[in-house]
Amino acid sequence: MSCLAGQRIAILVPCFNEALTIGAIVRDFNACLPQAEVHVFDNNSTDDTVRIASEAGATVRRVPLQGKGNVIRRMFADVEADIYIMVDGDDTYDASVAPQLAQRLVDEGLDMLVGSRVSSEQAAYRFGHRFGNRMLTGCVAMLFGRSFSDMLSGYRVFSRRYVKSFAAHSSGFETETELTVHALELRMPVAEVATVYKSRPEGSVSKLDTYRDGMRIMMMILRLFKTERPLLFFSIGFFACTLLAIALSVPVIQTYLATGLVPRQPTAILCASLVLFGVILLSCGLILDTVTKGRVEQKRFAYLSIPGPSHRG
């Protein structure tokens, strides 16, 4: 017997000018998960996305603040469910596996399940996007520990306690990075499942800019590094300042030992200033590390206050 019986399931579809694909997405998910409610959040589309989604049977809401991160913030705040399935509005993900993904979330008590993209179509998942994804995924794994093979996938299943404890800060496509780090930071039970990824239908255009959005994602990783690992972040500055000060001070010390004089006073002052600046950076790291631990504890309490996925029926 399916463990999804009695579960409130919401399909969340962020959209911007997806008139060519949104109708098929709504129909496919309605067919695969008839008990679920499809929510389309339109982000200022200038085509017929809203009309087509409504006619296909979706609940349509508008988000005037531009950016995928802003849309996800509204989706998580406005929709009430036990299981949330988020999918991009470009019809590149396989709707038929949604019941299995939701089933696994409940069976294993997971908080997030990522559908990693597998495609044999070069046009579907371009080399530049693959390379950038691997590089960014590797950065997150290095900074935050265990990660996923496809950190930027737009096909995810969430528990209610994940959604309601997620404090969304990003505004654009870097939101996937934030979603991943939130799960890793709280050490949530997560998993990854390979899913078929197909190319966009003819006439449909990707909204992702490889270089601009890649840079935004990298900046998001650096901001998260500073926010979530402040002691390590500021310690790097401390050690850099200290090593530079030591390197610059060697000739000054040698001259002083040989003559008893300090003729290079500007260099000596610079060395002392670098050491002082390094100590300030280390102090900031120590203070912010304490603040961060308190903030993470508060997020953990908010997360634990909501029941996790469980069997019903």
Clarify whether residues 129 and 255 are in a common domain. Answer: no
CATH code, domain carrying 160: 3.90.550.10
Of 228, 253, 270, the residue that ends a domain is 228
- Are 252 and 195 contained in the same domain? no
Q: Which strands form 112-118's sheet, in the order they lie side by side? A: 59-62, 37-42, 9-15, 83-86, 156-159, 112-118, 190-196
Q: Is residue 122 part of a domain?
A: yes
Does 39 fall in a domain? yes
Is residue 61 situated within a structural domain? yes
115-119, 152-156, 157-161, 211-215 — most confident range = 157-161
Q: What is the share, in percent, of the chain residues with pLDDT greater than 90?
A: 53
pTM comes to 0.81
Six token digits for residue 234: 């500021």
115 and 200 together in one domain: yes
- Say if 310 falls within a structural domain: no
Number of domains in the chain: 2
For residue 115, pLDDT over 50 is answered with yes
Top pLDDT among 144 and 246 is at 246
Locate the DSSP E strands across 82-227.
Answer: 83-86, 112-118, 156-159, 190-196
Do residue 153 and residue 252 come from a single domain? Answer: no
Q: Has residue 3 been placed in a domain?
A: no
The pLDDT assigned to 151 comes to: 82
Tell me the β-bridge partners of 295: none
Q: What distance in Å separates the CA atoms of residue 235 and residue 238, rounded to the nearest whole number?
A: 5
- Over 80: is that where the pLDDT of 121 sits? no
Q: Which one of 213, 228, 243 terminates a domain?
A: 228
Q: Tell me if residue 83 falls in helix, strand or coil.
A: strand
Whether the pLDDT of residue 124 is over 50: the answer is no
Task: Indicate whether 113 and 253 sit together in one domain.
Answer: no
> Of 213-217, 220-224, 289-293, where does mean pLDDT reach its minimum?
213-217
Instruction: Indicate whether 198 and 78 sit together in one domain.
Output: yes
Domain span at residue 149 reads 9-228
In this structure, the answer to whether residues 96 and 214 fall within a common structural domain is yes
Contact call for residues 10 and 39 (beta carbons, < 8 A): yes
Averaged over 167-177, what is the pLDDT?
82
- Is residue 45 a part of any domain in this protein? yes
Helix, strand, coil in percent for the chain, rounding step 5: 55, 15, 35
Residue 38, Cβ density class (10 Å: 0-12 exposed, 13-18 middle, ≥19 buried): buried
Last residue of a domain, one of 206, 228, 250: 228
The span from the CA of 16 to the CA of 90, in Å, is 9
* Cα distances (Å, whole numbers) of residue 281 to 23, 137, 170, 289, 293: 53, 28, 26, 12, 18
* pLDDT tens profile 39-82: 999 999 999 999 999 999 999 999 999 999 999 999 999 999 99
Residue 139 shares a structural domain with residue 246 = no
